Amino acid sequence: MIYVSSQHAPGYIASCLQSRLSRVRLARVGSATEIAVGSDSNNSYFVTLTPSNAGSVIKVMRPANAPDDPPEPEMRFTIARCAT
């Protein structure tokens, strides 16, 4: 699990992730944005973007049995690029 704070709004981060990763699906749940990354039947990562006073809080979870698609280093790099 990864928690990251960003000065960017959730919409900016969601757009950035969509432009850099394939197989991304977005959903709105209240004020949060939920993003599933991976094939329709096998999601590798679940990203939650929650608005905060200073921008966004990014929470990334990966189920233990999830496929490594995209590979974890690529996912970490993409999160870092979109958060800064």
pLDDT tens by residue, 5-59: 999 999 999 999 999 998 899 999 999 999 999 876 677 899 999 999 989 999 9
With a cut of 80, say whether residue 79 has pLDDT above it.
yes
Alpha-carbon gap, residue 33 to 50, rounded angstroms: 7
Domain that holds residue 44: 2-83
Alpha-carbon gap, residue 14 to 22, rounded angstroms: 13
Q: State residue 70's pLDDT score.
A: 87
Task: Quote the number of domains for the chain.
Answer: 1
Q: State residue 63's pLDDT score.
A: 85
* DSSP letter, residue 84: -
- Token look-up 């329709």 returns 40
In one letter, which amino acid is 43? N
Alpha-carbon gap, residue 37 to 45, rounded angstroms: 5
Helix (H, G, I), strand (E, B) or coil at 32: strand
